[in-house]
Structure 1
Amino acid sequence: MTDTGSEAVYAEIELRDWDEVRTLQEERLLDQVEYLATESEYYREQFDEWGIDPDDVQSMDDFADIPFTVKEDERRNQVDPSIDQPLGPHQAADRAELARVMSSSGTTGEPTFFGLTSDDYDAWIEMAARSVYAAGARPDDVFLHAIGRTMVPGGLPYVEALQEIGATVVPAGDGSTERILKTADKLNVDGLFSTASHFQYLIERAPEVTDRTVGELPVTKLIGGGEPGIANPDVRSQLHEAYDADRVSEVMGIGDIAAALSGECTVENGMHFVGQEYVYLELIDVETGEPIDLEPGAEGEVVYTPLGREATPLLRFRSGDYARIIDMGCECGRTSPRFQIIGRADDMLIYKAQNIYPAGIREVVGEIEGASPKMKVVLPHEGKVQFDEPIPIEVARSPDTERPEDELVDDIATSVREQLNVRVDPTVLPSEEIELSEYKTDLVRVADD
């Protein structure tokens, strides 16, 4: 932990003027391009194919001419690995230099693997430490880590990051729901680390498996990642109230780049970017790929380039996350962009000429009296994204509401139309009929499934 003179941040660079940070990023960006030109078989071939001389990349403006890398490029790289390059030609460090290999969750296709040298992994842990510290974890806390997939970025890196800041960690994610709840109670844990869906799932299951509510646990802090959700005001309010929590904060990473890239401070309104010297951040128009300035109110797909990454580096990686910049800087002292993930770019639907994200619909639905933020968009068949007719959605009724179903349906349809300029066809269901996952919950389902 850097001595910043402030308990609000983990590292001094989080307080540094953002223009100064961007200057540092540009220097490291040019070094990274040079590294790839000499050490990466894959990117050497790509530079030739693109007709780009790496020596001509001398600024951020030059860098913006480099084509994007997408998830499918990584998958193709790993189809036929060799003994020397188990991660494919994308691997830029010798096999002997690999210290850790992590895996994506595979929730959006075939899992991909990410290699890390010791220096790469140190950078991951530093960013994750900044992230959980921003989210409220402190050295005197006991945190129960409830994500059981140790091989995914939300697993071991966050366990080690919590330890890095000095917290006591209980890695109980591989246990059953009953064991997680009973362990949290018995060990008087201060915080839980999991996903928003899992926190909601525990609310429902706790009375059934322990005869107690989650509000009776000693937990006062919730840190959630892995999916959008906590930023939704109704989800956040539900978690605050159900757990009687002082802090409900969101963190986010993407395994291709880093386990943690952002963390939410006490303001609880958007996550701060925490990869200052480790990751170059861009925002682009989803359809045109054109850069969008990082400024309050800007929206677009987030693009990342790791800086100093040795094992499996990437250039201009399209994350698929669609984000809105809340502000540049914050009252907490951090100067980096503060943003919210609105949804997945590949979840985008089109209603006539209007782009819409399921998370945006959920945000509106969650504000309606008698409706809960548990909802799903129902696609008539796989691959359906264009709608000229109202989009079918399923919405869970709040357990304590007495509002008639037809009144709820009308209110939902009207609110979505007025706020998003999109027509939906709601079906209201009992809460238990819309399934929550123990890990991540999709906001979209296919009617045939």
Structure 2
Amino acid sequence: MTEPYDQIETEPWDEVVARHESLLTEQLAYLAENSEYYRAKFDEWGIDPTAITTLSGFREIPFTTKDDERRNQVDTSPEQPLGSHQAVPTEALSRTISSSGTTGKPTYFGLTAGDREHWNTVIQRCFHATGIRPEETVIFGVGQTMVPGGTPYFEAMTRLGANVVPAGGGSTERLLSALTDLHAPVLFTTTSHLRYLTERAPEILDRGVDELPAIKLIGGGGPGIATPEIRETLYEAWDATLVRELMGLGDVIGCMWAECEAEDGMHYCAQGHAHVELLDPDTETVLPFERGAEGELVYTPLGREATPLLRYRSGDYVRVTGTTCSCGRTSPRMQCIGRVDEMLIYKGMNVFPSAIRDVISGIDGALPYARVKIPSEGTVHFESPIPVTIVMDPGSNRDPSDIVDEAVESVRSRLKVRIDPTPVSKSAIELSEYKTSLVEVDTER
């Protein structure tokens, strides 16, 4: 067992939540005094924030959504370039970053110097949980862009004490060269990029990635590593000693969840800096963090100054994998299943594209790159079988028709959903270096 980074990570979860209760009261008072946006919302909701002193009272506050953020930033001014929920003068901002824009127009978030300290504390906990140690050299494969997984991650990893090499944002050849030249044992990048490198690096190097010095693989920026077949592929291809994932949200804190050595779900690592809730997205009921529970994550930053949010619906749908762990951490562990806004409905049943991919990934002869093909942007409801692209493994001797038949039966039996698969060769797909979408629009229709 490795020691957690901070003592609070091993404190009883109930005590952590009780601490959050008092911190939430302070955050509400801050919003009432400094946030033009939330002052207007409190009036609209008929809420006196000073009267809310308990978690049960806090749960009566309506949610904030990504659409609220976008509307807030439609009309801005030099005094409030981040919109009316900017709660500090512009000159007090220390950093401005943006969302990736993968689900619509990017939104911007600001950080004061104090906010950056909050972020660094939490992100350092996350990287420590994943196994990065101060004495190690880390190839940082994400470009230092405006996204949360760029510069903020780089800064936190540097503060952790690691020798961090900013190799992202350039060519794959240069990244691989740095990995080899510097004998770096750790590679951090997005999950999609890890898979991209696994596929493309042998063509560039004319040798397998198992001959590279990286033995610790850390992925972020989207789910996938928790899928057993994907994790095992990375382990085998790189001859790795660990393959772990982490996750966060730029609107709140760039990284808040990270896998420990158990590699069975990501621990919550933002104790004392953000309050998290598990929400049934249909009924909007708050659920307890219990093993097997599923729902959408909702966050409220604690002590956030620049662009604070209140009960922010993340859109990330997760499954709780445990509430205790051999590593000693006491926070809930979870696996991200997918985005709530990517959920499909087949004859009244909910299904995530990632769930379809995960089932197909376990089929002999199929690679873990299956994607749902929708007839037009925004299609959610299906009465007929859902079109799915299945990527054939070029090293398999199985007949593609047998693979397709097994995929249909496996998805039907495990997910109670029917699919209409189309087998394609590996050369027919494009792998992304940043994020790979599991849904694509059928442009041939």
Normalized against structure 1, the TM-score is what?
0.97
The corresponding residue for 1:362 is 357
The corresponding residue for 2:130 is 135
**Cα displacement (A) at 1:400:** 1.2
Stretches of 4+ aligned residues off by more than 4 angstroms: none
What letter is aligned with 1:57?
I
What stretches of structure 2 of length at least 5 have no aligned partner? Answer: none
Question: 1:183-234: per-residue Cα shift (whole Å, max 9, x none)?
Answer: 1011111111111211111122212222222111000101100001111111
**Cα displacement (A) at 1:55:** 2.0
The corresponding residue for 1:95 is 90
Question: 1:98-148: per-residue Cα shift (whole Å, max 9, x none)?
Answer: 111111111111111110111111111111101011011011110000011
How many pairs are equivalent?
444
Q: Alignment partner for residue 40 of structure 2, among 33, 42, 45? A: 45
Q: In the TM superposition, what are the counterparts of 1:40-439 in structure 2 within 5 Å?
A: 40-439=35-434
Distance 1:139 1:307 in 2: 28
Q: Percent identity over the alignment?
A: 52
Normalized against structure 2, the TM-score is what?
0.98
What letter is aligned with 1:423?
R
What letter is aligned with 1:111?
P
Distance 2:85 2:394 in 1: 50
Question: 1:227-271: per-residue Cα shift (whole Å, max 9, x none)?
Answer: 011111111001111111101000101100011111100011100
Residue aligned with 1:372, SS: coil
Q: Is the 8 A contact 2:322 2:333 kept in 1?
A: yes
What letter is aligned with 1:131?
C
Decide which moves more: 374-383 or 6-15: 6-15
Question: 1:338-388: per-residue Cα shift (whole Å, max 9, x none)?
Answer: 001000000000011210001111111111111111111000111111111
**Cα displacement (A) at 1:35:** 0.8
Q: Is the 8 A contact 1:182 1:210 kept in 2?
A: no
Q: Is the 8 A contact 1:124 1:259 kept in 2?
A: yes
Residue aligned with 1:374, SS: coil
Distance 1:376 1:10 in 2: 38
**Cα displacement (A) at 1:399:** 2.2
What letter is aligned with 1:108?
T
Q: Is the 8 A contact 2:290 2:323 kept in 1?
A: yes
Distance 2:71 2:301 in 1: 20
**Cα displacement (A) at 1:7:** 4.1
**Cα displacement (A) at 1:8:** 2.5
**Cα displacement (A) at 1:149:** 4.2
What letter is aligned with 2:68?
D
Distance 1:66 1:107 in 2: 28
Distance 1:197 1:152 in 2: 16
Q: Is the 8 A contact 1:143 1:189 kept in 2?
A: yes
